[in-house]
Amino acid sequence: MTDLVTFGETMLRLSPPRHERFETATAFDVYPGGAESNAAVAAARLGADATWISKLPDTALGRRVISDLKRYGLDADVVWTETGRQGVYYLEIAGEPRGTDVVYDRADAAVTTATVDELSTDLLEDAAVFLTSGITPALSATLERTVGDLLEIAREAGVQTAFDVNYRSKLWSPAEARETIETYFPSIDALVTPVRDARNVLEATGEADEIATTLADEWGFETVVITCGSDGAVAYHGGTLVDRSAFETETIAPIGTGDAFVGGFFASRLEGVDVGTALEYGAAVAALKRTIPGDVAIVDRDEVDRIVAGEHATISR
């Protein structure tokens, strides 16, 4: 039995080094990046048996995605295709006032044609948790259907279903996102959403604890987790609200922080810990991710345990 199965797109990210501009860079750093694979890597690094399923082009770039993810300790079950292409995105990182710029080049990516008939649903049906996000159905009408089908297959198999709203304004409008995502709600056991997405996409009102309670009551979710950035996170589970603070961190690379939190949270829940402790582990993995270049939280269990225990970093000699 697999602990965690995730489904979604993983792109290759190209970033100019040393905060250079796109138009002057002469080299680019290359990293894999995808919400669901990022979360699965974080969970695997904490000891979960995690598998990412998807569809990739049988090209050098598609194989680069797999080689990187496996190097990070993640299992993958991929449909290889001769059609479609590998999605890429460009990330120019800078501080204020310049800010960070993202350019997507993911049109006609192989994953946009993925259907349940070609994916390994047997892996999904034998998992403890199935996770996907709101990014995936925004990529194509086919994926909108596939995500819904996978959630229903998992739910019918008794697998806990988890969904991260993970709204992206460059993919669809809040109204479009809400219309689609709410059709999945009856098939979702655990909902994770940043507080900004809860308000802007799901039209929720109030503070994070009120939002969590309202969403759980309205839709019957077993668990609702509201992430609030530097203000920590709130969860509603079993009729009880719990909250935990974020851990202090020096931000070097913020991309992928939310995915790291999700991976840390579900890896901990799979171990049987309470929701409050799982929030702490999610926050610890997220804090570490902000110190790591790329999209993926390349962490180890000992350092995560150390942060949860409140131990301060020192020079390791």
- The catalytic residues are 259
> Does residue 149 come out as left (phi exceeding 0), alpha (psi in the -120 to 50 range) or beta?
alpha
Dihedral (Cα; 134, 192, 32, 290), 10-degree rounding: 140
Segment holding 11, helix H or strand E: strand 11-15
The number of helix segments (H) and strand segments (E) in the chain equals 10, 13
Strands, E assignment, 85-177: 88-92, 101-105, 127-133, 160-164
- 223-227 and 233-237: which strand pairing? antiparallel
CA distances from 211 to 50, 54, 163, 169 (A): 30, 32, 16, 21
Contact assessment for residue 250 and residue 291, using Cβ atoms and an 8 Å cutoff: yes
Q: What is the DSSP letter of 245?
A: P
